């Protein structure tokens, strides 16, 4: 399959999220340790991170130019989607299998070389990526490392804290732990969710989680209550929709408490301390720490003056700090585009096209970014927010009069719940095939 510029933009501009078919006749995949494929014989793009951004960037570089070797480095052989993991926490999924993908078909269909290893260093001058399995050289590097936590800002937080106060903001073991704690909690218990100041991964995520935990309690433990401590002064995403859901469906079970920035934890006592003044103790405590770009981005000097996020060129997503290194997804400073799975998917496609163009001496294309984000408010209702983005004066902005949120009367929530399920299946298929 070969994509010309017009076809690529057409695919990118579609907000349906429909997965693309595998590439017929693709070359056989080489996989394993970095040592097995370390030798670079031609032009090479290395991609770090096998999530919403990295898989798509690797796939599209190969789709656009088969002469470019692509190596995707990922520490795990499976990936669990953070989007929709709240379904599992709230009891709407029996296990994490609907959220889990592997890389076998992606690699085989597109001739992507997989390296399952930990990235320990990036040398942008020597153009090398050091992994636990060996060192890879590159012509261009795409980094999609997701987020890590600024736990050093929280007094009392240590390596054992997430075992007692799970964040569940990286899907997998933490997701399972939080659900088990909810199931074990006696009826009449108190659940506390603590969310950080913006920016953080998935702006509506904590609010969706509060709805689904409240739904679980209403169904299974009606004497219990959930409190959402928001470090922000007000709801930062889909405010009228979440407010309506809280008031209509979860009154007496849920309480929203804004302006509560946690600065200290006592994990053994399951206690959160706000600004050193207020104690908030629960039977189950879901503490989501403040966030920054993934650790490798910080270590490689890709973060800006704030030491948290990676500044990039708004058109190519090339780092403004290191040449030939591109950063996409949650870790990047992408202007008006939120830190979401669909944003990462959209950014990856534009980045891949521009990486190929730059390597072939062609003009770069303009960003045409999209984002759609669904949030469940009950077991059969969802709401959404959508946006379209472009570059203006060197910054990514929302296209005026585009996008918007679901109707305030909840007239489409049941249908949008079906759309959400379809979106998940399609985007995970696109990532894994």
pLDDT tens readout for residues 294-330:
999 999 999 999 999 999 999 999 999 999 999 999 9
pTM of the model: 0.92
Of the three residues 289, 310, 328, the one that is the final residue of a domain is 289
Structure tokens at 396: 């990514």
Of the three residues 259, 289, 319, the one that is the final residue of a domain is 289
pLDDT surpassing 60 at residue 210: yes
Of the three residues 289, 321, 342, the one that is the final residue of a domain is 289
Residues 9 and 144 in one domain: yes
pLDDT surpassing 90 at residue 2: no
Residues 161 and 277 in one domain: yes
Residues 162 and 280 in one domain: yes
How confident is the model over 41-51, as a mean pLDDT? 96
Domain CATH code at residue 162: 3.50.50.60
Do residues 157 and 285 lie in contact, with contact meaning Cβ atoms separated by under 8 Å?
A: no
Confidence of residue 39 (pLDDT cuts 50, 70, 90): confident
User: Which pLDDT score, from 0 to 100, does residue 27 have?
Assistant: 32
CA distance 430 to 433: 6
Q: What is the DSSP letter of 336?
A: T
pLDDT in tens, 130-164: 999 999 999 999 999 999 999 999 999 999 999 99
pLDDT surpassing 60 at residue 14: no
pLDDT surpassing 70 at residue 10: no
* Bond preceding residue 313 cis, omega within 30 of 0: no
User: Which pLDDT score, from 0 to 100, does residue 29 have?
Assistant: 37
Do residues 340 and 363 lie in contact, with contact meaning Cβ atoms separated by under 8 Å?
A: no
Do residues 137 and 122 lie in contact, with contact meaning Cβ atoms separated by under 8 Å?
A: no
Do residues 123 and 130 lie in contact, with contact meaning Cβ atoms separated by under 8 Å?
A: yes
Residues 324 and 411 in one domain: yes
DSSP assignment string, 34-95? GGGS----S-EEEEE--STTHHHHHHHHHHH-TTSEEEEEES-SEEE-STTHHHHHTTS-SS
Residues 178 and 206 in one domain: yes
- Collapsing DSSP to helix, strand or coil, 75 comes out as coil
Specify the number of domains making up the chain.
2
For residue 255, give the H/E element and its range: strand 254-258
User: Which pLDDT score, from 0 to 100, does residue 308 have?
Assistant: 98
Confidence of residue 41 (pLDDT cuts 50, 70, 90): confident
Residues 251 and 368 in one domain: no
Residues 283 and 329 in one domain: no
Residues 10 and 140 in one domain: yes
Q: What is the DSSP letter of 345?
A: H
Domain extent for 238: 154-289
How confident is the model over 63-82, as a mean pLDDT? 98
**Average pLDDT value over all residues in the chain:** 92
User: Which pLDDT score, from 0 to 100, does residue 374 have?
Assistant: 98
CA distance 154 to 157: 6
Residues 77 and 129 in one domain: yes
How confident is the model over 256-268, as a mean pLDDT? 98
Cβ neighbours for 75, distance < 8 A, ≥ 6 positions apart = 116, 117, 118, 119
Residues 207 and 311 in one domain: no
Residues 275 and 358 in one domain: no
**Selection from 161, 195, 402, 397 nearest residue 291 by Cα:** 195
Residues 80 and 58 in one domain: yes
CA distance 235 to 68: 45
Confidence of residue 389 (pLDDT cuts 50, 70, 90): very high
């Amino acid at each position: 399959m070969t994509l010309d510029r017009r076809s690529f933009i057409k695919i990118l501009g579609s907000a349906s999220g429909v997965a693309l078919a595998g590439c017929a006749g693709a070359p056989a995949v080489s996989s394993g340790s970095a040592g097995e494929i370390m030798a670079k014989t031609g032009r090479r793009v290395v991609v770090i991170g096998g999530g919403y951004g990295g898989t798509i960037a690797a796939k599209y570089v190969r789709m656009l130019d088969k002469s470019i070797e692509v190596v995707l480095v990922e520490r795990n052989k499976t990936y669990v989607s953070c989007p929709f993991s709240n379904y599992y926490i709230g009891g709407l999924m029996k296990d994490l299998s609907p959220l889990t993908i592997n890389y076998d078909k992606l690699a085989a269909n597109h001739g992507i070389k997989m390296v399952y290893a930990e990235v320990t260093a990036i040398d942008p001058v020597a153009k090398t990526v050091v992994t636990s399995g060996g060192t890879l050289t590159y012509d261009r590097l795409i980094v999609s490392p997701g987020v890590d936590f600024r736990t050093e800002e929280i007094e009392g937080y240590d390596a054992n804290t997430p075992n007692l106060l799970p964040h569940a903001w990286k899907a997998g073991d933490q997701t399972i732990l939080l659900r088990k704690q909810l199931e074990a909690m006696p009826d009449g218990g108190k659940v506390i969710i603590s969310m950080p100041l913006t920016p953080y991964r998935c702006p509506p995520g904590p609010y969706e989680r509060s709805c689904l935990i409240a739904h679980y309690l209403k169904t299974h433990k009606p004497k219990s209550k959930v409190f959402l401590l928001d470090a922000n002064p007000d709801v930062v995403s889909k405010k009228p929709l979440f407010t309506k859901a809280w008031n209509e469906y979860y009154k007496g079970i849920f309480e929203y408490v804004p302006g509560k920035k946690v600065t200290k934890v006592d994990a053994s006592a399951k206690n959160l301390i706000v600004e050193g003044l207020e104690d908030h103790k629960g039977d189950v405590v879901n503490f989501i720490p403040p966030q920054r770009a993934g650790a490798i981005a910080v270590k490689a000097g890709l973060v800006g003056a704030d030491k948290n996020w990676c500044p990039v060129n708004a058109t190519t997503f090339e780092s403004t700090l290191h040449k030939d290194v591109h950063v996409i997804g949650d870790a990047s400073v992408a202007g008006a585009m939120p830190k979401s799975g669909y944003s990462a998917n959209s950014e990856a496609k534009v980045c891949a096209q521009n990486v190929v163009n730059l390597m072939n001496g062609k003009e770069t294309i303009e960003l045409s970014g999209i984002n759609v984000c669904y949030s469940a408010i009950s077991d059969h209702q969802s709401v959404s927010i959508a946006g379209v983005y472009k570059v203006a004066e060197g910054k990514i902005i929302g296209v005026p009069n585009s996008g918007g949120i679901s109707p305030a009367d909840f007239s489409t929530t049941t249908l949008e719940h079906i759309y959400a399920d379809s979106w998940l299946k399609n985007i995970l298929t696109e990532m894994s095939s």
